[in-house]
Amino acid sequence: MYGKNYLLDCEILHEIRGRIRIKSRALKYLGIHKEEITSQLMQVHYIENVSISNITGTVLIYFDASSLTGENIVSLLQNTLNTYLVDIYKNEKKDTSNKYLIERKLQEESPQEIIKSIGAAVILLLLPNPKRKLTGIRRLFNYKTLSTISLALPVLKNGIYSLIRNKRPNTDTLSSTAIVSSIMLGSERTALTIMVLERFAELLTVYTMKRTRGVIKDMLSVGENYVWKQSENDTEIARKVPIEEIDKGDLILVQTGEKISVDGIIEKGEAIIDQSAITGEYMPVTKRTGEEVFAGTLIKNGNITVKAEKVGDDRTASRIIRLVEDAAFNKADIQSYADTFSAQLIPLNFLLAGIVYVSTRNLQKALSMLVIDYSCGIRLSTATAFSASINTAAKNGILIKGSNYLEELSKSDTVIFDKTGTITEGRPKIQTLKSFGKNMRNERMLALAAAAEETSSHPLATAILNEIKNRGIAIPKHQECIIKVARGIETVVNKSIIRVGSQKYMEENNIDSEKASDIVKGMQNRGEIVIYVAKNAELIGVIGVSDPPRENIKKAINRLRNHGIDDIVLLTGDLRQQAETIASRMSMDRYESELLPEDKAKDILKFRSIGSKVIMIGDGINDAPALSYANVGIALGSTRTDVAMEAADITITSDDPLLIPGVVGLAKNTVKIIKQNFAMAIGINSFALVLGATGLLPAIYSSILHNSITILVVGNSLRLLKYDINR
């Protein structure tokens, strides 16, 4: 038998020779991949028949027992399911979310609407009751009763809808029963008090959600609010219009100093554009007619006309905001548990009300059982806590796509780092220069190397060219640069052939590199990449290039350990020597080198298969598969491409690695506050139920006490708006 805690774990239910039935939670959530997985298993030579049941989460397999064992079959099944892990996980989340109660979507309400309804209810509370006492059904048709019912309509509708759709009551069902009962008993004051206090608690939650949306929109602002729209025939002067009025195909005029507000193609003009916020390139690039430009990039110099390709909701900001608000897939387990737990307690309120009424024949005492419930406080305070945390994170330049990622962060025990652009800056710099020969100085050797590398866009060439600029050295005149793929580059300076590249490139051209061996060994021990420079048949120098670690990265790793992370791993595509050097300097637990992006993703799955809660931290581009497969994928830095924003669950838009332990600490504090709210809501409301059942607490005071507790726990959640993420 195998563990049952993890999605891909398997349990052998029954086994005889050549026949085995295996149970796995993952088999319930295969979705459209069921036939594909069945086909893959059937392609195994010794498997004769496969039958998967989504309903029971089991698979029945007939196989050649002389060639395979049950253990082989289990391993084969897990490896096959591994390929579809992300889709299986999404299907499980989607299916689970459908089981939760239908609650009003508070994010669709505005604070102004709630304030108006609270104001109307308060005015009704202050107004005197009708002078004429009506009896029977006629009593329901006075202005105060009709106004109370009108204000309660959203609650009444949702409460009834939940009973019809889910066949079970929700919070609004309970509130509706209490409101209607109060009205039937002639106590509109009790009904209005319930509504005022509940709506005030909801106001705090909606206010937090709105603030969060605003902060995220500001954080993801990708252009100007107004743009210059150009007519297609160029005969009219460009008009300044709101960005919301721009459609696909419209022509936008963008000038020096302005942000481009749409993704599109340059129709006319040329400009130098800073794309660092989108592509991560720190050097501005020249863009000409026919080339693509992105929303959020800044024109440093020039004027262009852009034909809009992606506008409005197709842009990154709108897509990400929808992801953050998507309650179905991005709901945390603890939030789902809060909904489920409180939903299970709602029938208890009805049961207690029935018992109290049968025992006492007192409707007021029975009503007290309905106005006190656990669900309202638990549900609202949990939603507020997560929304406040996402707000606090966004104010610090951290985009969290959903509350589930906060909870996953709080439970994490393993952090995996990419190297280039994550642990390191992603901008190689020259660390060592060593020239050989009596008449060869370091500056001259560097200048000759720069001559060969001048037209190259390779990161190592960029390091040499940047060093030349920093030292103010002129690049000598040279002929065409010829690239030798995967080896080096060469050019001619003053009739001398200059070769720059690897040791293998030197050997291929019969250039002796032995005199540099001791120096090279020291450079390699420091994790530097060695570049050889030769003039004709003589080695004239070596250049050591390394990608320096980010500032504060070591401090960030230490803080992660203080937050309970006990396994820190480096996965990189770089050579073993460089990986080993960085892992040692950062005091990491282990490393793997020379990995392709898909190899990193497979390693993530290995960690998850043994129950590790994995955070993957990368640059969000070539690490997209690994970011998707981790429990939480974090993209660090200013890359912010579509790929980065969509592959990562959390995006840190600055280059400060201390924000990584900062957001982990925020997550742990969020879950801590939610647990505090659970304890307060359950403890105090239970006490209030006892008082109400004994008649010591009338219905109206029961409502005041219950809703005061709701406001208290929501207020406790609001403390997260002031959380210091840098502590």
- Residue 437's region, left for phi above 0, alpha for psi from -120 to 50, else beta, is left
Q: What angle do CA 333, 334, 339 make, to 5 degrees?
A: 95
Length of the chain counted residue by residue = 727
Reduced to 3 states, what is the DSSP secondary structure of residue 483? strand
Distance CA 63, CA 475 (A): 70
Q: What string of DSSP letters covers 2-29?
A: --SSSTT-EEEEEEETTEEEEEEGGGGG
Residues 228, 304: Cα–Cα separation, whole Å: 11
Domains, the chain, ranges and CATH? 10-97 (3.30.70.100), 226-318 (2.70.150.10), 389-424+550-669 (3.40.50.1000), 429-546 (3.40.1110.10)
- Residue-level pLDDT at 540: 95
β strands within 38-140, DSSP E: 47-53, 58-63
pTM: 0.65
Cα separation, 54 vs 29, in Å, equals 7
Q: How many Cβ atoms sit within 10 Å of the Cβ of residue 5?
A: 8
Kindly report the number of other CB atoms within 10 A of residue 474's CB atom.
Answer: 8
β-sheet bridge partners, residue 146:
none
Whole-number pLDDT of residue 276: 55
- Give the integer Cα–Cα distance in Å for 416 and 603: 10
CA–CA distance, 593 with 346 (Å, rounded to integer): 54
Q: Are strands 529-535 and 538-546 parallel, antiparallel or unpaired?
A: antiparallel
According to the model, what pLDDT value does residue 292 have? Answer: 87
- Can you give the pLDDT at residue 531? 94
Q: What is the CA radius of gyration of the chain?
A: 33
Q: Which residues, including other chains, have CB under 8 Å from residue 584's CB and lie 6 or more apart?
A: none
Positive or negative torsion for Cα 18, 19, 24, 30 = positive
Angle at 110 between CA 105 and CA 111, to 5 degrees: 115
580-616 burial, b at 16+ Cβ within 10 Å, e below that, comes to: bbbbeebebeebbbebebeebbebbbebbbeebbbbb
Q: Which of 418, 547, 623, 656 does the annotation list as catalytic?
A: 418
Chain centroid, CA 462 distance in Å: 33
Coil, strand or helix at 592 = strand
**SS3 labels along 346-377:** HHHHHHHHHHHHHHHCCHHHHHHHHHCCCHHH
pLDDT score recorded for residue 1: 35
Q: How many CB atoms lie within 10 A of CB 434?
A: 16
Half-sphere exposure of 223 (CA within 13 A, CB side): 26
Residues of the chain with pLDDT under 50: 1-4, 100-101, 279-282, 316-317, 325-329, 639-642
The residues, any chain, with a CB within 8 Å of residue 709's CB and separated by 6 or more, are 377, 680, 681, 684, 685, 688
Residues 312/316/318/320 CA torsion (nearest 10 deg): 170
Cα–Cα nearest to 262, from 299, 222, 229: 222
| pLDDT attached to residue 246 | 82
Give the sign of the dihedral formed by CA 399, CA 405, CA 410, CA 413. Answer: negative
218: annotated active-site residue: no
User: In sequence order, what DSSP letters do the residues of 667-699 get, joined into one string?
Assistant: HHHHHHHHHHHHHHHHHHHHHHHHHHHTTSS-H
Is the torsion defined by CA of 492, 493, 499, 501 positive or negative? negative
pLDDT at 660: 94
For the record, the structure tokens of 460 come out as 């190592």
Amino acid in position 561: R
